[in-house]
């Protein structure tokens, strides 16, 4: 019974196939060859991505992506470099010695102005002002001799500047040698420095 049923199925398939038009074997060969050639001409993955970026409709996206990547790399590098600079600044503040590196780029920073402050009992003195963004680590002073005054050179651009001395890292003191500056924002003691055009 089973054999008969199979034969019937095969017969039906044969009848269906025989109803189809005759296939030219050469045409089949040509189609297969053309498909192979088409596959071989398809661009590689990298070329496809490049093409994707070259398409005019994608220029904005491509530009944005590249800009973002460049910015991210730049900011990561900047953060790493800034961290290194901060570390150096901390070390300098612990050992307040003016090194040649501290004088590098002086011309771009402004006119050199010597600062002197008498504070015999102070353990450390730094100059803070708008010329160094009130950064206590920017301009440490060094003691002249054993009990001498504290001295440093600041670099300020021509014009009016406000500054003070930070004694022992805690106490802000105005320069007794300079006129006082009135501070409408915070109050407190500060001094005025007028820097002439070089």
Partner 1 sequence: MTTRTSLLTIAALLVAAAGVAGAQDARLALIRDNATRDVVNAQLVSASSMRLPAEPFVSKALEGVAKKATLKSIRSAMAALEKRMKTAYDLLGPSATVDELAAGADAISMGVSEKTIKQMRDRAPNRSIAMELGVITELVARGVPAKKAAAMMLDLMARGATGVQLTALGRDVQGDVAAGLKPDVALDLRGRGVLSLLPPPPTVSNVNVRPR
Q: Secondary structure of 36-94 in the HEC alphabet?
A: HHHHHHCCCHHHHHHHHHHCHHHHHHHHHHHHHHHHHHHHHHHHHHHHHHHHHHHHHHH
Report in angstroms how near the CB of residue 169 gets to partner 1 at its nearest.
10
Q: Does 192 bind partner 1 (CB under 8 A)?
A: yes
Nearest CB to partner 1, comparing residues 147 and 185: 185
Residue from 61, 104, 107, 116 binding partner 1 (CB under 8 A): 61
Decide if 163 contacts 131 (C-beta within 8 A).
yes
Q: Nearest-5° angle of CA 173, CA 177, CA 182?
A: 60
Kindly tell me the burial class for residue 96, based on how many C-beta atoms sit within 10 Å of its own C-beta (0-12, 13-18, 19 or more).
middle
| DSSP 8-state assignment for residue 140 | B
Query: From residue 72 to residue 91, what is the string marking binding to partner 1 with x (rule CB under 8 A)?
Result: x-xx---x--x--xx-----
Nearest CB to partner 1, comparing residues 16 and 184: 184
Structure token pair of residue 92: 């300098």
Q: Does 56 bind partner 1 (CB under 8 A)?
A: no
Decide if 193 contacts 178 (C-beta within 8 A).
yes
Query: From residue 110 to residue 139, what is the string marking binding to partner 1 with x (rule CB under 8 A)?
Result: ------------------x-x--xxxxx--
Report in angstroms how near the CB of residue 151 gets to partner 1 at its nearest.
20
Q: Does 194 bind partner 1 (CB under 8 A)?
A: yes
Q: Does 159 bind partner 1 (CB under 8 A)?
A: yes
Structure token pair of residue 60: 């904005």
| DSSP 8-state assignment for residue 137 | T
Report in angstroms how near the CB of residue 74 gets to partner 1 at its nearest.
8
Residue from 100, 114, 145, 187 binding partner 1 (CB under 8 A): 187
Residue 134: how many CB atoms within 10 A of its CB? 16
Residues that bind partner 1 (CB under 8 A): 57-58, 60-61, 64-65, 67-69, 71-72, 74-75, 79, 82, 85-86, 128, 130, 133-137, 157-161, 164, 166, 172, 179, 181-182, 184-188, 192, 194-197
């Amino acid at each position: 019974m089973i054999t008969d049923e199979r034969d019937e199925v095969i017969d039906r398939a044969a009848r269906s196939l025989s109803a189809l038009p005759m296939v030219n074997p050469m045409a089949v060969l040509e189609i297969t060859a053309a498909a192979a050639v088409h596959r071989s001409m398809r661009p590689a993955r990298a070329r496809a991505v490049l093409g994707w970026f070259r398409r005019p409709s994608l220029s904005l996206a491509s530009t944005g992506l590249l800009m973002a990547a460049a910015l991210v790399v730049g900011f990561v590098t900047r953060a790493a470099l800034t961290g290194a600079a901060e570390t150096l600044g901390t070390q300098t503040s612990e050992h307040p010695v003016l090194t040649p590196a501290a004088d590098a780029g002086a011309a771009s920073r402004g006119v050199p102005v010597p600062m002197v402050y008498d504070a015999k009992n102070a353990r450390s003195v730094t100059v803070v002002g708008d010329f160094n963004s009130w950064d206590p680590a920017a301009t440490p002073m060094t003691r002249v001799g054993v009990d001498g005054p504290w001295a440093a050179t600041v670099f300020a651009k021509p014009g009016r500047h406000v500054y003070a001395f930070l004694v022992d890292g805690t106490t802000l003191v105005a320069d007794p040698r300079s006129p006082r500056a009135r501070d409408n924002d915070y109050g407190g003691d500060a001094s005025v420095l007028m820097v002439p055009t070089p």
